[in-house]
Amino acid sequence: MKIPFGDLKFQFEAYQNEYETAALEVLRSGWYVLGKHVSSFETEFADYLGVKHAVGLASGLDALILAFRTLGIGRGDEVIVQGNAYIACVMGITANKAKPVFVEPDKYHNLNPDLIEEKITKKTKAILVVHLYGQASRMDKIMSIAKKYNLKVVEDCAQSHGAKFNGQLTGTFGDINCFSFYPSKNLGAFGDGGAIVTNNLQYAEHIKMLRNYGSSIRYYFEEVGLNSRLDELQAALLSVKLKHLSELTAEREKIANNYIKSIKNKSITLPLVAPDATAIWHLFVIYVKGDRKKLIDYLNKNEIGTVIHYPQPPHLSQAYEYLKMKKGDLPLTEDYADHVLSLPIYNGMPKSHQDFVIKKLNEYK
């Protein structure tokens, strides 16, 4: 039995007719960029979250870049972010010439709220909250710190579409919140895509202008912008998927619960979900106490695919050599990078495959 880490074919086949109808409608319409499908997806996505505005963009990274830019965060400013964030989170900060200040994660792999205050300086302007692996961060503490120090909050919800803290959806806490619709994300398109959401009309209008070369009136340019538009085809397909997101999430939850209930091996720590938080299981990440390489090789031999999210923390990447950080600066972040492992979890994953993964893990010594 060959079990891939992920397979996007099944989530397409589940609603194939609807996707094909939507795609054909766009292809036949003669209008492919910034049209009625982008506007209607923006309205539907904002309504789904219960926020006032959503702006479709070309990627999650662009969403982050434009969020910090619109908040006026740049050279000389510091942004708090967790050490084990995805590289794009950090690039969203540094593309604006601001400095990332890393905080160690908590045992849920999210920003540890108890370690934020000691990192706040006069230069701190914002907290970037990354709801990693699909679990909502502990927003009660984070928002009260932000309020106390008058900091902006940007949420990175690229992995957390639909996850909640205290019953409130991620993407509704911060000033400007960012989503990715990369195909493998829980609300994934069939190509690249992203969005920002906000309750602030000025922010939304600014980002609409920036995504289109800095232009609101055709061929008149107010600022040096980007080309970062969500296209009509992706928007139409996302509208279809958004309607089914709760079913898709429930299916992943079922797989995760099967794993949590049945995986029993002393060398594996299963993922924990914080009280008051929910997880939408973008990834199912275990902590391997012993030799991770040995477990990966064993699973490979049994034709079970795994991926490490992420093997190298941003502060140790070549890209961020200029920050002059070294191994040992973020011990917990580095420990996670050395020990985490993501198990196969995807929509349409057969129960027999889940049970095979469980069986092989339980047999592992």
- Interacting residue with ligand PLP among 79, 88, 98, 285 (CB under 6 A): 88
Closest to ligand PLP by CB, 85 or 358: 85
The gap from C-alpha 181 to its chain's centroid, in whole angstroms, comes to 9
Binding status of residue 156 toward ligand PLP by CB under 6 A: yes
Residue 82 near residue 59 (C-beta atoms within 8 A): no
Least distance CB 84 / ligand PLP (angstroms): 10
Residue 249 near residue 280 (C-beta atoms within 8 A): yes
CB atoms within 10 A of CB 50: 12
Pair type for strands 194-198 and 53-57: antiparallel
Which of 180, 191, 127, 128 shows the shortest CA–CA distance to 157? 180
Q: Tokens at residue 275, please?
A: 């009280």
Residue 348 near residue 7 (C-beta atoms within 8 A): yes
Cβ-based neighbours of 148, under 8 Å, separated by 6 or more: none
Binding status of residue 170 toward ligand PLP by CB under 6 A: no
Binding status of residue 56 toward ligand PLP by CB under 6 A: no
The residue range among 73-81, 154-162, 238-246, 355-363 that interacts with ligand PLP, by the rule CB under 6 A, is 154-162
- Interacting residue with ligand PLP among 22, 61, 128, 197 (CB under 6 A): 61
Q: Which residues of 174-191 are buried (b: 16+ CB within 10 A; e: fewer)?
A: bbbbbbbbbbebbbbbbe
Closest to ligand PLP by CB, 89 or 98: 89
Q: Distance (Å, rounded) from C-alpha 251 to C-alpha 28?
A: 33
C-alpha torsion sign, points 247, 250, 256, 262 = negative
C-alpha torsion sign, points 58, 63, 65, 69 = positive
- Interacting residue with ligand PLP among 84, 124, 137, 159 (CB under 6 A): 159
The residue range among 112-120, 153-161, 333-341, 356-364 that interacts with ligand PLP, by the rule CB under 6 A, is 153-161
Residue window 113-152: x/- pattern of binding to ligand PLP, with contact defined by CB under 6 A:
-----------------x----------------------
- Interacting residue with ligand PLP among 194, 225, 313, 344 (CB under 6 A): 194
Binding status of residue 182 toward ligand PLP by CB under 6 A: yes
Binding status of residue 180 toward ligand PLP by CB under 6 A: yes
Binding status of residue 299 toward ligand PLP by CB under 6 A: no
Where on the chain is the footprint of ligand PLP (CB under 6 A)?
A: 59-61, 86, 88-89, 130, 156, 158-159, 180, 182, 192, 194
